[in-house]
Amino acid sequence: MPSEILLDPYNYDFHEDPYPYYQRLRDEAPLYRNEELGFWALSRHHDVLQGFRNSSTLSNKFGVSLDPASRGPHAAKTMSFLAMDDPSHLRLRTLVSKGFTPRRIRELEPRVTEIAIQHLDVMMDKAAGGAEPVDYVNEFAGKLPMDVISELMGVPQPDRDQVRAWADGVMHRDEGVTDVPAAAVEASLNLIVYYQEMVRERRHQLTDDLTSALLEAEIDGDRLTEDEIIGFMFLMVIAGNETTTKLLANAAFWGHKNPDQLAPIYADLTRIPLWVEETLRYDTSSQILARTVAGELTLYDTTIPDGDVLLLLPGSAHRDERVFDRPDDYLIGREIGSKLMSFGSGAHFCLGAHLARMEARVALEEFFKRIHGYEVDEANSVRVHSSNVRGFAHLPITVQSR
């Protein structure tokens, strides 16, 4: 008798390596039910993709997290339009898009490069030409994304360390904690108060940052409220900061584990975007996203009741051998294209996908301009423990400088 399949997004063993669990789900329980934690889950590529695209029956209005405190009608306060359905979602997303434009992202690239270089200068100094191990997350991958978001929003330089510390506090979970801990609630409130003050300052004096652009965004007299602006800023912190940090560390880790795949990149840095895409497929930061069934949904001859939670597992979908050849092999340059779901799909496709890809490309380019090799200290690497994102809290490396 095979052991019962268990999917527990809070389990530390699952965090270490979820992929064997996903394999069993795809093969044995493509529609999975966990009675104890009260959710359903879809693991096959086709089903996850259809799930992302079905924004009428699969609702976002209670948020996209399984954590009880993050779920509910209040979710939009911190998750903005990610926790809304149309027409509210479309209205807010369209207004935000007026400020968060592809052009603004393009124009940000020189500053992203400067910020990356600043952090790399410090990290390479500490690495002492390869003599000392350095924490790639602490010194680089964990700093750059939040500083880029702060740059975009207009957070003054002296405040950025504090803002970054609060952002980290929002996401941290200790083992066995299946809800939002008090420290994370406190960090969230501190961030919200800080952003409220920033919005008030911009009302008195507009600048050329995203916060001002959001205040000015207007369609036929309709403008964003202060709560809506702060909700979007908070979403940027959670969705934009955390996932990009994880992407950068996951790329470094899997590059180290697959030196044959990385070798061509040292010789040709234009291949870095291919490295980023394969990392997004192979070990995506966003592993699990929740939806709430609205009405009735029948899958695999099973009717899922109205109001039930359904988890979509892009982390599993990307390893589905029904869609990818040799899915468990890390192959930089493989054909991925629209099969990637790291940024979702359909109406809720991530507005920050361009920004994340640009940041990752710039960060890895600048890093590789300085080195001709690096080693990860796997024994002292520490994974993040989260019910929906996957990556490293600490990734000690030694580098061989060019």
Among residues 284, 252, 261, 219, the alpha carbon closest in space to that of 135 is found at: 252
* Phi, psi dihedrals of residue 329, rounded to the nearest 5°: -95, 140
Q: Are the C-beta atoms of 127 and 402 separated by less than 8 Å?
A: no
SS3 assignment, position 327: coil
Q: Which residues is 302 bridged to in the sheet?
A: 299
Helix residue ranges, H only, 208-323: 210-216, 226-235, 243-257, 259-267, 272-282, 314-317
Q: What is the pTM of this model?
A: 0.95
**pLDDT value for 23:** 97
At residue 173, the pLDDT reads 64
Q: How far is CA 20 from the centre of its chain?
A: 22
Q: What is the mean pLDDT of each run of 10 residues along the chain (402 residues)?
A: 75 93 97 95 98 96 89 89 95 95 95 98 92 95 95 95 87 65 87 96 96 96 95 88 94 98 96 98 97 96 97 98 98 97 96 96 98 96 88 96 90
**Which homologous superfamily does the CATH classification assign to the domain defined by 12-401?**
Cytochrome P450 (1.10.630.10)
Q: 100's torsion region: left (phi>0), alpha (psi -120 to 50) or beta?
A: beta
Residues ≥6 apart with Cβ < 8 Å to 388: 9, 64, 65, 66, 286, 287, 288, 289
C-alpha 266 chain-centroid distance: 26
Separation between Cα atoms, residue 169 and residue 181, nearest integer Å: 10
Closest CA relative to residue 215, chosen from 205, 106, 287, 341: 205
Which residues are within 8 A (CB) of 294 and not within 5 positions of it... i.e. 6 or more apart?
56, 57, 58, 59, 85, 306
The residue ranges of every structural domain in the chain are 12-401
Whole-angstrom distance, CA of residue 77 vs CA of residue 229? 10
